[in-house]
Amino acid sequence: MLVADTDFLGAFLKAKSVDIILDIFDENKIVIPKQVEEEILEELGRRFDNRIEVRNTKPIQDLNLGEGERAVISLATKEDLILMNDRKACGKAEELNLKPVTVPGFPKFVEKEVGSEKTREIADKIRVKDNYIFS
């Protein structure tokens, strides 16, 4: 299962590239907690299609993170990939033996699957639509 946080999913929604995530990881949906849905609706002002499933979860309380990050971590299991961008949250996820993937790490992962030209295309879309700077 893929569990996404606001920053990661928002970048791909803006670039209209959610299908790329699903194709690369061979999944048919991305799961988000209700807290992330609320953050994305506030940021983008629109609903999602049926490839994004919203689930209710109670965020882990004892992590010093935002509510969305805590909810994502509480929703994920060790078999899942967590799509998130916050370094501190990624570190906490790794401490809990979860597997985070970041926006900067995604193109490197994708390149193995689809090649460098398609990877540049994806990175360019995100750069333009989300003003994201890849290092």
- What ranges do the domains of the chain cover? 2-130
Amino acid of residue 45: G
pLDDT per position as a tens digit, 33-56: 999 999 998 888 777 778 999 999
Burial (CB count <10 Å: 0-12, 13-18, 19+), residue 75: buried
Nearest to 69 by CA among 80, 84, 54: 84
3-state secondary structure of 82: strand
pLDDT at 134: 61
Q: Are strands 81-83 and 52-55 parallel, antiparallel or unpaired?
A: unpaired
Q: What is the mean pLDDT of each run of 10 residues along the chain (135 residues)?
A: 93 84 90 94 79 93 89 94 92 94 78 73 72 62
pLDDT at 16: 82
Single pTM value for the model: 0.83
What's the farthest any 2 CA atoms get from each other in the chain?
A: 42
pLDDT at 77: 93
Residue with tokens 């995530």: 21
Residue with tokens 């995100």: 126
- The upper half-sphere exposure of residue 43, i.e. CA atoms within 13 Å in the direction of its Cβ, equals 17
**Which CATH code for domain 2-130?**
3.40.50.1010
